[in-house]
Amino acid sequence: MNPLDLNGKIILVTGASGGIGRETSTLLAKLGATLVLVGRDADKLKKLQRTLKGGKHLACPFDLRQIGQIESLVTSIVDQTGPLNGLVHIAGSQSLSPLRLTAMKKMEDMIQLNLTSGIALVKALSRKGNHSPSGSVVFMSSVAGLTGEAGLSVYSATKGALISLTRSLALELSPAKIRVNAVAPGYVPTDTAENIRKILSKDQMATLISAHPLGLGTPLDVAYSVAFLLAETARWITGITLIVDGGYTAQ
């Protein structure tokens, strides 16, 4: 028996076309899940859909900053797939800049995409008929939500809020047997993280790498933690934040 078996599970993945989202989607499909891929880039979603194992995956291009349309999105998806077994909220944005130089519009977009859309998705998922008798929600947080990070104040705030949201929703949704957990990765090389790497000097980048005792991880390291929290193996786990950071927060 595969402890990460996801056969028969229908799972919605946001941010599916990004680095961690793409790797997570690929792994979940290999483990047997049928996926609903949500992201802003239709071409990338379609390309990913074609590469996934299995043939019933659904690509849904959508800008999650359209908060008022999220409930309709979920209803439309469930009409096509039936009740969802899982939600993985990976979609997010990041900006490395001092607060005084960060435009309000950029802050608002970050809060909507990283946090508010996740709340709206779970609200829609929790409605009767939209979820299976037992389900699993996984929020993608960050070690930035656990430790202070200069230049990442708004991003850190959204990721810290996801951790608090995880605990509260775990209690609120337990009567419906919906588990809610979060994953908090350290620095993982992705397209989004590349934007930060370009800003840092060689010495700053070396310091960042050395702050991870086991070295930098990969998107696949994060994907496996998501798969674990979605699987029946984790059926008695809810309300936790699984830190996947190569020892970054152990210091």
Q: Which residues carry out catalysis? A: 155
> Looking only at Cα atoms, what is the longest distance across the chain?
53
Q: How many Cβ atoms are within 10 Å of 56's Cβ, its own excluded?
A: 9
Contacts 24+ apart (CB under 8 A), 202-211: 211/248, 211/251
CB 62 within 8 A of CB 73: yes
d(CA 55, CA 137): 24
- C-alpha distances out from residue 62 to 44, 77, 98, 113, 140, Å: 12, 12, 30, 12, 18
d(CA 14, CA 36): 8
Could you give the angle at the alpha carbon of 35 between the alpha carbons of 34 and 36, nearest 5°?
Answer: 140
Instruction: Return the bridge partners of 35, or none.
Output: 11
d(CA 66, CA 28): 26
